[in-house]
Amino acid sequence: MSARNLVSYASLLGFVQQHPAEAAEFLLGCLPEKRDDLASVIFHANQQAKNPAIDATVEGAPYYNNSRDVPVRSGPGDSHRPGSSSGARKSVHDFQTSRTRLPPSPTRTTSSHSRSTTSKEGRENIVILATDEQGDVQEYAARMRTAQIEYSVIGEHMFQDGRICEDHVIAITEQRLAVPIRNSPGASKDVVVSSAAKLTWVRPRSSASHSTTFYLVPSENVDIDVLLGCHDSGEEFLGSIPSPPQRPRGFSFIEPTMNASAKQAPQPSFHRSSQLPGSSLDEKPDAIIQAMLNLQRERVLDEGETTLPQHSPASTRHKSAQCLSHNEQTNSRTPTVVPKTHEPRTDKIRLTCKLGSLSFQCWLYLDAPGEAFCENVQNEFKKRKLQFDRPNSTILFKNNKEAPDIDAYYLSLDEDALEADWGETIDWLRTNKRNVSPHIYGTIQIDDG
């Protein structure tokens, strides 16, 4: 009788219960290539322990991962970083042979994406699950949005200052990837990348995990932690395919090929919130441009402006016809602008903040700019003779101080991030504030700079 037949489920369960440490060492030693799967299983087990109803619809079903392959362009022999020996640091993943299958990002709905995690601009909070240097699964908070780029990228800062372990990063053959240009909507530039990481991530309060290959780009080239490309988001890539640029020797780049399938109707977007209100992917270019103009006018009106520059729809269509080779004429009229008047607002909420073992209270004025709130926080630091490291400071807002951090609303105090996210933060605070003081609880986290 073979040893396999001697091991029953009951005896194996008894061994795990009586010798948990030995069982954990055995799993990590025998299944090094399955650490991502183990991380997902452990995370979902912990989530189910917190909320037993989370997997009630699939009770008894086996856990599995099933998504499309993500094309990874790595050259032969690039299993770890240049200059590192195979014995000193081994890559956690083999990007050429390991293709974990996981579902693409699910359709956004009000039930799966609350206002606390997804903004009007498509930004959302995610949690990256990754093992540390000791092999323990850790959770790392990050901000993500979808982008009109082919492949997903992640800022190098996510692997610096004691954040995600660099063992997840491997060297790849240098290649160029397009990334959006900061503060220039619709524009992109080529960035040379030479490393990638395959990471597992989840959305807060979601039972679905995702495994994605991210290419590392310098942090100054992105305005957020993670950009999810079309290959991973399920959205149609609308950008044109440029002519192959001349590249130095050693570049290995798989050029996309156009075939008959490209003429088929585009698949529906997996991220409906990234589309303009009232538009769809199969609308005419003129309709999309008109929707953008309408949206800009609405935003200006919401900010209290009484005058707007008038644009001629005819000239707009003419420009779009030149840029997009579209000659179809459409009839439209310039929308009538109705000025809005806003009553002066003095809304404010009482905020109780924790910093380690210290705590303080301050007012947060909902009609004031984000810089005013940041100055209040800085003054509290000065009163206690503490150094205020603004670029590396993040506040976690909660309406229940006992709520876990994963359910909190994350706001970075970095100057650019604060300016970009302040509007959606105010919306969240108005919706989630308590009726009694303190109206909101906050926890300040400072990353090691």
Kindly state the average pLDDT of the residues 32-52: 65
Residues 207, 354 within the same domain? no
- Is residue 436 in a domain? yes
Let me know: does 337 contact 301? Beta carbons within 8 Å: yes
- Judging by DSSP bridges, how do beta strands 153-155 and 209-217 pair with one another? parallel
Residue 318 belongs to a domain: no
pTM of the model: 0.35
Same structural domain for residues 225 and 366? no
Output the average pLDDT for the chain: 68
For 38-42, 219-223, 302-306, which range has the lowest pLDDT when averaged over its residues? 302-306
**C-alpha torsion 414→122→165→396, nearest 10:** 50
Of 215, 233, 251, the residue that ends a domain is 233
Q: Looking at the domain assignment, is residue 151 inside a domain?
A: yes
Q: What pLDDT sits at residue 329? A: 45
Highest mean pLDDT among 34-38, 54-58, 64-68, 407-411: 407-411
Of 184, 214, 233, the domain-final residue? 233
Task: Specify whether 77 is located in the same domain as 225.
Answer: yes
**Alpha helix stretches (DSSP H) within 75-226:** none
Q: Is residue 68 in a domain?
A: yes
Span 145-200, pLDDT tens digits: 988 888 999 999 999 877 898 889 999 998 988 888 877 777 888 899 999 999 99
Number of residues that this document lists for the chain: 449
Number of domains in the chain: 2
Residue 361 maps to which CATH number? 3.10.20.90
Q: For residue 41, what pLDDT band results from cuts at 50, 70 and 90?
A: confident
Please choose, from the candidates 136, 150, 18, the residue with its C-alpha nearest in 3D space to the C-alpha of residue 71.
150
Cα distances (Å, whole numbers) of residue 66 to 37, 63, 70, 100, 208: 12, 10, 12, 8, 11
| Residue 129 resides in a domain | yes
Domain membership of residue 147 (yes or no) is yes
For the chain, the 3-state helix, strand and coil shares in percent, each to the nearest 5, are 30, 20, 50
What is the DSSP code string of 54-76?
A: GGGGGTTPPP----PPPP----T
d(CA 363, CA 386): 20
> Do 78 and 209 fall into the same domain?
yes
* 332 found inside a domain: no
69/212 same-domain check: yes
Q: Which two tokens stand for residue 2?
A: 């073979």
Each residue of 220-253: b (16+ CB within 10 Å) or e? Answer: ebbbbbbbbbbbbbbbebeeeeeeeeeeeeebee
Range(s) of the domain holding residue 75: 61-233
With beta carbons less than 8 A apart as the criterion, state whether 110 and 208 touch.
no
383-435 per-position pLDDT tens digit? 888 888 899 999 999 999 888 888 899 999 999 999 999 999 999 999 999 98
Q: Which of 198, 233, 268 is the last residue of a domain?
A: 233
Stretch 7-13: mean pLDDT:
74
**13 located within any domain:** no
Q: Would you state the pLDDT for residue 75?
A: 37
